[in-house]
Every structure is written in C-alpha cells, then in structure tokens.
Amino acid sequence: MIPLLLETLEFRSNNDIHRPVIQAIELLKKYAQSKARYYENGENIPIDGVLKSGWKEILLEKEEDGKERINRINYEISVLQTLRERLSCKEIWVTGAYRYRNPDEDLPTDFEQHRQVYYQALTLPEDVETFVRNLQQKMADSLEKLDKGMPDNPDVNIVGKNQGLIRLSPFPAVNEPLNLKQLKGEINRIWHQTSLLDILKETDLRVNFTRNFKSMGTREIIDRETLQKRLLLCLYGMGTNTGLKRINTGINGENYQDLLYVRRRYIHKEQLRSAITEVINGIFEIRLPQIWGEGTTTCASDSKHFGAWEQNLMNQYHLRYRGRGVMIYWHAIEKLSLHLFSTQNLFFKRGDCND
C-alpha cells in the first residue's frame, strides 16, 4: 500500500531546508520493489535534515568485513515518520490535496500586493529579524521575571525527578457574584431542568427553521409533523455528538433507520446554512437593547478546534480533542448576517468566552 501511495502522490516543499526529505522519498520509490537489506554501494542516501539526532547509530549495521551499511527498512521507517511530521505543519505539501495543500494557498490572493496592510492589521513587523528579535526579548524578559520571583513566590514550585517541572498552585476560589447567583435562580425557576432538545423544539416553533430542509428527491412521502420531529432529533444528535443511534433510544415511534433516512435525504450543507441564518436573525430580532446594548456583533458560546504544529507558540494541548491546536470562536455580524472566524481569541482557553 505505501509504495503505491508514494508513487501516486507528489510531495513538494517551498523551503530548500526540507529538500533532503523529498530526495529520501524518491529513494524509497526507487527501491520500492527491491528485497535488498542494504542500499547499493555509492547510493546517495540523504541523512542530514531527514533523520533525528541519535537515529543514525540505530540505522547503521556492520557487515562481516567491518564496513558500515544503512539498514534499508529502518531507514524507510524513519523517513516516513519524518514525512508525517513535516506534512502535519505543511513544511512538505501534496500536489492536488486539500488538507495538505500548498501553504501559500492559505494566504489571501492579494497578499503580495497588500502585504503592508495585512501586517498592520496583525500588528506585526514586516521585517522577520525584527519580529524574531522582539519575540526573543519578550521571552527573555519573562524568563528573567520568573527567575527573580521564584525564590520568594510560595505559589510556584520546581518539582519532578530532575527538577524540571514547574507546578503552579491553584488560585483560591472567588465568591460567586450576587447578580450571577440571582440570575441562575431566576432561570432555574422559569425553565427548571429544561433540556437542550426542548429548547431546540421551542426555537423551531418560533422561527420554523426546519422549513429550510427539503428532500433531495422529486417527492416527499413523510407528513410534515413527523418530518419536523425527525429533523429535530437528527439535528440534536449531530449537534451534541450524541449520534443517531443513541437518540432513538426511548423515543416512541422512531428508529435508527428512519432518522438515518432523514439525515441523508434532507440535511445538507446549504440547508443547514439557511437554517442557521434564520435562527441568528431571530435572535437579533428579539434581543433587548436595554440589556445587551446596540452592538452588531455577537459571539457564539462554543468554539472549534483547529490543529496547529507544535512550534506555534499559541497552541495548547486539549484533552477533549487529544491533540495540540488553537480554539477559534465564531462571530456573527448583524449587518450582513455573516459568519467568520475570530482571530482575537486565539489566546483564550476553551471556557473563557463561555464565562
């Protein structure tokens, strides 16, 4: 399988530093059908920029005559591991791919013409040396501040077998604000133990967003009331990651096959967008300006996880997603009813906007 993939996919890089990995992949293609244990004498085998430090000793084997040869299988495994790492951060990309596409395609098409405008919007210097120097200075200042405050800071300890871990003591709990406690009590009094499914149904009764979901076939044989019920169950199962199989448990008259049929026949990307637009517009219409003000931008209460390479200083490890990345929150603008990513909350943890 791997030789076929390597032969089919075309790997490229925009940085000459990663050229040895591309050459190593070509070497793997060349020996794809070979059963030899070692590469031929005189073969140009890329080492620097391909193998991690300390791996070269593992790959070298001595023959009876004392000559050192590189074990082909072990070398190929190390090359594939390096390829996986470079693909994850797009240092190497695949021609014609989407997820692993050319990183230049991620930039605005007019980036070169309006480079200064984009850098000003990001509040970043155009000179790379200035950016690196400022970043190094900030890191040095922070480390110096940590070093000076460590001896007299009772809330920070150096722990671990080799004294290489920093442990922070948790902050003492803050008393809950009185207005927040009263607000929770009033909500609980009016909507005691109201489920998300009930809220979704009530929203549809007021907005009727399920009317946007039309059958992809030529005719509909399900009556509207039954279809509405199944649509709400499908949307709830998909939106909460509960799944359709668990949703139908305990609901009379519905089964997994019925929900799966509605999911495949009625729920599609464009229809979802139309339904979300109606819900957002409905929220804007009932919003009380005397409480929430006259702002035209609202932020969703949840966020989306985007994977990011480890060298990115803004990424974090998230237990829920079992990987590193950044959390980006959706914003809705009232004027055009658009949805766009917010890059202002990249440093926020998952619960920050919910609070």
Strand partners, 339: 332
Tokens of 335: 């004027």
Distance of alpha carbon 84 from alpha carbon 310, whole angstroms: 13
pTM for the predicted model, two decimal places: 0.49
Neighbours of 284 (CB within 10 A): 13
In a shared domain, residues 71 and 116: no
Strand partners, 304: 328
In a shared domain, residues 300 and 217: no
The dihedrals phi and psi of 75, each to the nearest 5 degrees, come to -65, -45
Tokens of 239: 């939106």
Distance of alpha carbon 219 from alpha carbon 227, whole angstroms: 13
Question: How many domains does the structure of the chain reveal?
Answer: 4
In a shared domain, residues 100 and 112: no
In a shared domain, residues 18 and 92: yes
Q: What pLDDT shows up at residue 227?
A: 92
Distance of alpha carbon 166 from alpha carbon 156, whole angstroms: 7
pLDDT in tens, 280-305: 888 888 877 787 777 666 656 567 77
Q: What is the DSSP letter of 38?
A: B
Residue 145 lies in a domain: yes
Residue 88 lies in a domain: yes
3-state per-residue secondary structure call for 174-228: CCCCHHHHHHHHHHHHHCCCCCHHHHHHHHHHHHCHHHHCCCCCCCCCCCHHHHH
In a shared domain, residues 87 and 134: no
In a shared domain, residues 62 and 74: yes
In a shared domain, residues 260 and 311: no
Domain boundary among 106, 134, 155: 106
Residue 84 lies in a domain: yes
Residue 182 lies in a domain: no
In a shared domain, residues 6 and 29: yes
pLDDT in tens, 65-83: 777 788 888 888 888 888 9
> Exposed/middle/buried for 327, CB within 10 Å: 0-12, 13-18, 19+?
buried
Q: 24 Cβ partners below 8 Å, 6+ apart? A: 45, 46, 50, 79, 82
Residue 342 lies in a domain: yes
pLDDT of the chain along its 355 residues, tens only?
Answer: 788 888 888 999 988 888 899 998 898 888 888 888 888 877 888 888 888 777 777 777 777 777 778 888 888 888 888 898 889 888 899 999 888 899 888 888 888 889 899 899 889 998 999 999 999 999 999 999 988 988 888 888 888 777 678 888 888 888 989 999 899 899 888 888 888 889 999 999 999 999 999 888 777 788 889 999 999 999 998 888 888 888 776 566 678 888 999 999 999 989 998 998 898 888 888 877 787 777 666 656 567 777 776 666 677 887 777 788 887 776 666 554 444 444 434 333 333 333 3
In a shared domain, residues 69 and 98: yes
SS3 274: helix
Q: What pLDDT shows up at residue 343?
A: 40
Domain boundary among 272, 304, 326: 272
In a shared domain, residues 7 and 101: yes
Residue 213 lies in a domain: yes
Domain boundary among 106, 129, 156: 106
pLDDT in tens, 305-332: 777 766 666 778 877 777 888 877 766 6
Question: Which residues span the domain enclosing 203?
Answer: 194-272
Residue 281 lies in a domain: no
Q: What pLDDT shows up at residue 53?
A: 75
In a shared domain, residues 33 and 81: yes
Tokens of 124: 């970043």
Tokens of 100: 């692993």
Residue 185 lies in a domain: no
Distances (CA, A) of 83 to 5, 7, 67, 309, 336: 13, 15, 29, 14, 43
In a shared domain, residues 115 and 99: no
